[in-house]
Structure 1
Amino acid sequence: MGRKQYLFDVLTDLSNQEIKPNQVIIVEQNADPESNSELDYIFDDWSFTINHLFTHQTGACNARNISLGKTTADWILLFDDDVRVPVDFMAQLQHTLISTKVKAITVACLQKGEKEAQQTVKQWPYFGSGCSLVHREIVDRCKFDKALEHGYGEDVDFGMQIRRAGYDVIYAPQIQILHLKAPVGGFREKRIFPWSTDNIQPKPSPHIMYFRKKNYSENQLKGYKLVQWFKNYGKLGSFLPWGHNELFNKAWESSKKYANSL
């Protein structure tokens, strides 16, 4: 979305790989109903097939689900449009797959100057929707939850779906790609949600609450609520314990209400 040059650089990096992808699926989005594709270079001679889809419906969840529905390969790389990768990136992935024998790997997606302290692969509780390789078995059973569209947590939720389906997610910090964090394009438009003008803003975000209620046990949710009570102390308008407690409970109940509506 609005990142023509960045995406061209991504395609160039993939084209230069020692082990090349068979197909690259691009879901281009532009909310303007009068708009057309700006990706003229997709008709160039690339070393892989490009499957290009254009839609006026914006949203990462929708776009990823569309693209997953178009895949036929055994392995699917979920990728961002503003990253750069070394020529041996795919070869590193293949080596790690062979050594770990897992079905889902997330790699280190670092910004310029950022260092990764972790040195070895590890089991971890997260998932990166823009820097992960997953097996066909997973995409046949898991989809991005559109209740989280334009919000937060859709990638972590996808990781939870993977685990609930019986698979492990491995973080491979030694495989590193550069995340440019493009200052243009993407999903930067501020969304107006039903709660945006409420006097008492929901805490946490209804999207986060939705994710927690969907994936947490009752005791985990109580523990999360307690942590949030302390983290937000004094930030809601009162430093008095009883005053803060009243404001926090109103914000929490508002979040639960809107989470249910998602």
Structure 2
Amino acid sequence: MIDLKTPSEIEAMRPAGVFVSEVLTALKQHAAVGVNLLELDELAHGMIRERGATSCYIDYHPSFGASPFGHVLCTSVNDAVLHGLPHDYTLRDGDLLSVDFAASVDGWVSDSALSVVVGTPREEDLRVIEATERALEAAIGAAVTGNRLGDISAAIGAVAADYGYGVNTQFGGHGVGREMHGAPHVPNAGRAGRGLPLRPGLVVALEPWFMTGTDEIYTDDDGWTLRSQDGSRGAHSEHTVAVTEDGPVVLTARA
């Protein structure tokens, strides 16, 4: 069931969006050569405690996860492209890091992600990050009343095609509200003009993620981390977006 939010409920979601944005900004600034992934997770955990927020990840245990997640961040490095389980790994020069974070504030959830290169960048890493960011912008631009869900998916897929990347549709965007994941599922490729009509009050997390060499993934031995099948690197960008009469509102916009 798709739960459309009232204008007042969308306003009530703004504090969660601001908080998630603040945490990701702090993590981006802190990520550097020599920093451990567990240190990043603890930084986010401390900000959650200080804010009185609730992690959406720590007890999360969907059917595709081997066990409750147990951490407050997804930290995916290099060929780890989604759901990276934080572990004892120290970031090295040139690592491509994607961080995904969701939290609940006053009962409302926001979800967002970003990718950065630690230290000396590779051109191909900057390119795939740029592609996900451009795809996210295109998706947000398509999230208007009168369009359909397929218009969002098609906008993402078109950017991927422009960059020469394939698209994996197993994992994509999703509804957000009182819980982190809800209907509808928003694939990262699709056909324009198809699917659910976009109506005011729909709130979705839009999250293009691309890999440079494949569209196939496998699950790491930790039971959570998804890696590219061919070892190529990937990037991930995400915002929580509300469809309104006045156009899309990005609840997790970063300063």
**TM-score, scaled relative to structure 1:** 0.26
**Higher relative contact order at CA 8 Å, sep ≥6: structure 1 or structure 2?**
2
Higher strand share: 2
Higher helix share: 1
Larger Rg: 1
**TM-score, scaled relative to structure 2:** 0.26
